Amino acid sequence: MAARRSIARRGLRRGSLSFGYLVALVPWLGACSTTVFYNEPGAPNLRFRAMSNGRFLTYTSIQLHIHRVTADCRAEYVGSHNVWAPLAPTTEPVHLPEERLSLLGFEFHQHGNIESWTSYKTLMRPRAGQTYEASVNYDAGLYDVEIREAGPNGGRKIEQRPLSDCHRA
């Protein structure tokens, strides 16, 4: 009987220690979260059409991470915007400052029995008087992103460009 009690006490102590470690880790894990919700003032000029199809017991969320690009071609994080999640399939449009070079990064995070991340990044310099629509889709491990400009003189597709192209933008 005494042996059973000591085993139970050791298990309780181990559980207490594990709980103690967890309590100590929670503030540290919270400090690691660097997501800032994007809220640039101005009339919305970037709208989204998004869709994601999951497989059995999986789903994919899509976030847009926005960075301003400095004169020396460094990307500075400004904030993130939820583009698509299973319980919130529509999103509000956002404002990207006109004539400012930005790096847009769409992140696709598949949740389920296997987690995976995929991303699509492109440079973009919105022009004054133009509106933009990002069509963002994820299905069966494949993603498709197309950004189009629409304005009084017609529209055009915004080609994907890496950050290394910033001096040419």
Q: Tens of pLDDT along 44-98?
A: 999 999 877 766 667 788 899 999 999 999 999 999 999 887 776 667 899 999 9
HEC profile of 12-42: HHHHHHHHHHHHHHHHHHHHHCCCCECCCCC
pLDDT band of residue 168 (cuts 50, 70, 90) is confident
Q: What is the DSSP letter of 5?
A: H
Domain range annotation of the chain: 1-33, 46-168
Give the pLDDT confidence score for residue 162 in this predicted structure: 96
Q: For the whole model, what pTM was predicted?
A: 0.75
C-alpha–C-alpha distance, residues 115 and 141, integer Å: 11
Q: Is the pLDDT of residue 99 over 90?
A: yes
110-163 pLDDT per residue, tens: 888 778 888 999 999 999 999 999 999 888 778 899 999 997 777 899 999 999
Residue range 46-168 in CATH 2.40.160:
no
Main-chain phi, psi angles of 89, to 5 degrees: -75, -10
Main-chain phi, psi angles of 99, to 5 degrees: 65, 10
pLDDT band of residue 37 (cuts 50, 70, 90) is confident
Give the pLDDT confidence score for residue 35 in this predicted structure: 65
Give the pLDDT confidence score for residue 92 in this predicted structure: 86
Give the pLDDT confidence score for residue 1 in this predicted structure: 52
Give the pLDDT confidence score for residue 26 in this predicted structure: 33
Q: Is the pLDDT of residue 40 over 60?
A: yes
